[in-house]
Structure 1
């Protein structure tokens, strides 16, 4: 009887609640999960190891981080980032509106032309503006004056970075404007509101997420830029880190500066996330499928055309014209070797294609995990994948130098380490387009194929991959576009004797040999233009 009572008590005893699985209801295949874990670990490695180095010798690192000079460099960098972000939004918002929602003549052509400055690396744009508008530049010679006002410093860095980064805001703004439900604007106009009031109360609130995303990209880019600020002789955080790395034997202080910059970047991400959440706008219904009606510009048509023309002339025509001038001059004087440029282009293609392939594969793993197997674990992997872009290229390179020289010596100054750094840094650019493509593929199609007995790998190979091919190509194109332009990471991590177009341009412009850098710059632009076109045709700008 006692045993029966004990058994009955056990049956009545409430069962302890089981912990929820970190993988949700559907556990991803082991090989896919292992790939996601490896990608997450690869992204975490640079920042984690940098913090380990700093923690191991905290005194000098703290002295550098808390120094008053560090504070002023940080303040100058933040001021530049804020100024460039504000100016980029001020340019991109009207251009996006004019090329999407008005009857601007040739608006598709203007949209393409206004996006093309993104192809020009900021360090190329900086030296071209110095050559054209500097104190002793081409404009001074044409005017016959001895010297023009200096373009160096904050103003020059602000001008160059604004002209070549505003497309980062323009792309998400145009994408959002195409998706806004026109019924909301129709309702506002029916209530008697004019075009300006309709834009301010209906359209602008829906643009806040796109403006926040684009502004964040610009701010992160400015804070991690090295080439343009160096040519413009502006003391930014990244420039100080590079000078400290090159001049100091004990690089613990350099690691301290890098750690401060990483914390600054993640603080910026947190602030941006709060702003986006505070201004989030959600559609309650499916909306209408018809495209929005184009606003008639009327008497504002010519001012709008003048604005677009002036922007394209300054940000695109002027740099390309100066490049062509210096290229012809370099060929005439023999300062440019086509054989050398071909070899440099080959090295750039090797690094760019390597990073594009690795980045697309890693991004595909992360995107499939997050979209098809949503859970706490896969969302964590996705967040880690996006964190790479918050790490400046110089910080990733610096951390990998510490790691390779202390833990993985055979990897130091190898091409594989450089491609690894580029992949980690630009991985988020590959995740976005693939995520957008996967969102357009119904999971029911894949479930039906699995119900017919096909394995997950067969389903992906025969159904999912062909449907998201455009997103994969767009993501790879974006990684390639940025990898071939990357300067500080390439300068620090490239094998000895391995020069690319980017490093050759930097080496020549840093000593004032504009003729020798013009042909490599033109070739770099020619290589970078097709990926941008591929992204604009196949990719979707996703917040």
Structure 2
């Protein structure tokens, strides 16, 4: 063996040992971060345990059961309606022979840019007992219109602003679908709808269930829309009791977390067989849906949905901005741009911290081949599936009992945002890391560069788009978060969403015009991120 070969083998052994040590250290760091993020949630058990034997009595009390049944029913109705609306729109924009399909795709996805509680705000203002529609009909002798409040109104509004989750995931599945499978079935004299039922639907089912999962978790955790529509569900029930009955609120929160876990389990069972669901070797999504005379009438579906979900709220808020609304001139609440600065300030902090803590978790899940690294990657998603009101209650209890110095401070508020939305950054960074060419990394290693130097000079520049996309998503979702902000913000710290909520509670709707339009514009940027990701 030559001296050069001996040196090379020694260097390789040293490099392998260093790489192994780095992987272990990175995995331990990722696991520690994941544990810290979910630790406060365990405090709900501590609080609920204080009820003793009364816990079971309260859990099965008629009022608790009533709220549970109503919450589950709302989730079921909204999820089912979103599937019935989102799947046809996805099929129409991918396979339907309609003019300007890209335009209708963007239009069908845009309701995600409007926070659902702003949509509820606009619907109450337009169709409420003293709304714009009632004023228009009054001269015609129509003194009353059907109430927009209640279970049906809440389900309708939530469906309008959550169906795009199903639409986008189903559309992605259709775009990656091998159209030759349907063509083969049609040559065997299989009817159009039979081919869809037996071939297309099973292939896109994982995409449908993925979107339905997001809809169900959103409907279960939403606080603003049911409150505005006067429907008492778990989130309102917990919020109303978190100050004076903390232990009872903790018990209710555990029940809500249990429902979230059941939803996750159902989704995993429905989407368990994904083999080949997105695989294709030929023309993807190429089967056209022959609409014939229905080509233009079919466009009524995206048009009506867009009018209700996008045009209506923008028109209502724009009208208030130009002509004033209820309480616009006489209300004591005054909007200040400082609220917008506060919103941006905490959102920037949340985005920055989320990226910093997501990086080691995402990198470890890709580079470290261990169960601990995989677990550290999955555990933070518990926070994402936790409703904001439940997370806020857990953090309030934890800080009161353990760290009172940070009770209702900006650091605590930012920590809540990180726990809630950091998985968005993990997913984006991990996807970008998986796309890095391993040969480039190996080439840097052969040139004697350390793991840290290789990451800094090779990997990081390549994954920066994913890092930026993750930070943008965390920033934009943080700007819209309502219950956690209401419960955890420092005294006197107002943001766009808290000001809007104060306006709604006092009935001075007109003063919500500016912050509502600002939020819609900012939320619209999230759609740009989603569309850009689809384009990539």
**Same fold per superposition (TM over 0.5):** yes
SS at match of 1:510: helix
Which of 231, 235, 239 matches 2:236?
239
> Are 1:35 and 2:32 matched, yes or no?
no
Quote how far apart the aligned CAs of 1:65 are. Answer: 1.9
- Assess, with a 3 A threshold, how the Cα gap between structure 1 residues 199 and 27 changes in structure 2: closer, same or farther: farther
Distance 1:290 1:73 in 2: 45
Residue-pair matches, total: 514
Q: Any conservation in 2 of the 1:336–1:519 contact (CA below 8 Å)? A: no
Distance 2:37 2:377 in 1: 11
SS at match of 2:481: coil
Distance 1:540 1:51 in 2: 44
Quote how far apart the aligned CAs of 1:339 are. Answer: 8.5
Deviations 1:365-385, CA, capped at 9 Å, x for gaps: 222211221311011111102
Quote how far apart the aligned CAs of 1:41 are. Answer: 1.3
Q: Any conservation in 1 of the 2:177–2:284 contact (CA below 8 Å)? A: no
Quote how far apart the aligned CAs of 1:185 are. Answer: 2.3
Q: Which residue does the alignment assign to 2:166? A: 169
> Are 1:261 and 2:253 matched, yes or no?
no
- Assess, with a 3 A threshold, how the Cα gap between structure 1 residues 326 and 35 changes in structure 2: closer, same or farther: farther
Q: Any conservation in 1 of the 2:178–2:282 contact (CA below 8 Å)? A: yes
- Assess, with a 3 A threshold, how the Cα gap between structure 1 residues 333 and 513 changes in structure 2: closer, same or farther: closer
Q: Any conservation in 1 of the 2:177–2:280 contact (CA below 8 Å)? A: no
Which of 137, 158, 168 matches 2:131?
137
> Are 1:414 and 2:409 matched, yes or no?
yes
- Assess, with a 3 A threshold, how the Cα gap between structure 1 residues 280 and 232 changes in structure 2: closer, same or farther: same
Distance 1:206 1:232 in 2: 37
> Are 1:438 and 2:429 matched, yes or no?
no
List alignment gaps of at least 5 residues for structure 2.
1-18
Which of 226, 230, 234 matches 1:229?
226
- Assess, with a 3 A threshold, how the Cα gap between structure 1 residues 497 and 221 changes in structure 2: closer, same or farther: same
Distance 1:284 1:77 in 2: 33
List alignment gaps of at least 5 residues for structure 1.
1-24
Which of 506, 526, 542 matches 2:501?
506
- Assess, with a 3 A threshold, how the Cα gap between structure 1 residues 199 and 361 changes in structure 2: closer, same or farther: farther
* Aligned Cα root-mean-square deviation (Å): 2.3
Distance 2:107 2:469 in 1: 19
Quote how far apart the aligned CAs of 1:337 are. Answer: 11
- Assess, with a 3 A threshold, how the Cα gap between structure 1 residues 360 and 170 changes in structure 2: closer, same or farther: farther
Quote how far apart the aligned CAs of 1:35 are. Answer: 3.4
TM-score, L = length of structure 1: 0.89
Deviations 1:7-41, CA, capped at 9 Å, x for gaps: xxxxxxxxxxxxxxxxxx95644553343123211
Distance 2:316 2:63 in 1: 37
Please identify, of 466-475 and 385-394, the stretch whose mean Cα deviation from structure 2 is larger: 466-475
Which of 46, 51, 55 matches 2:45?
51
Q: Any conservation in 2 of the 1:140–1:147 contact (CA below 8 Å)? A: yes
Distance 1:178 1:213 in 2: 15
> Are 1:486 and 2:481 matched, yes or no?
yes
Which of 71, 78, 84 matches 1:84?
78
Q: Which residue does the alignment assign to 2:276? A: 282
Q: Any conservation in 2 of the 1:205–1:281 contact (CA below 8 Å)? A: no
Distance 1:437 1:325 in 2: 43
Distance 1:273 1:132 in 2: 40
Please identify, of 370-379 and 441-450, the stretch whose mean Cα deviation from structure 2 is larger: 441-450
Q: Any conservation in 2 of the 1:42–1:424 contact (CA below 8 Å)? A: no
Which of 205, 208, 213 matches 1:211?
208
- Assess, with a 3 A threshold, how the Cα gap between structure 1 residues 435 and 104 changes in structure 2: closer, same or farther: farther
SS at match of 1:233: coil
Q: Which residue does the alignment assign to 1:103? A: 97
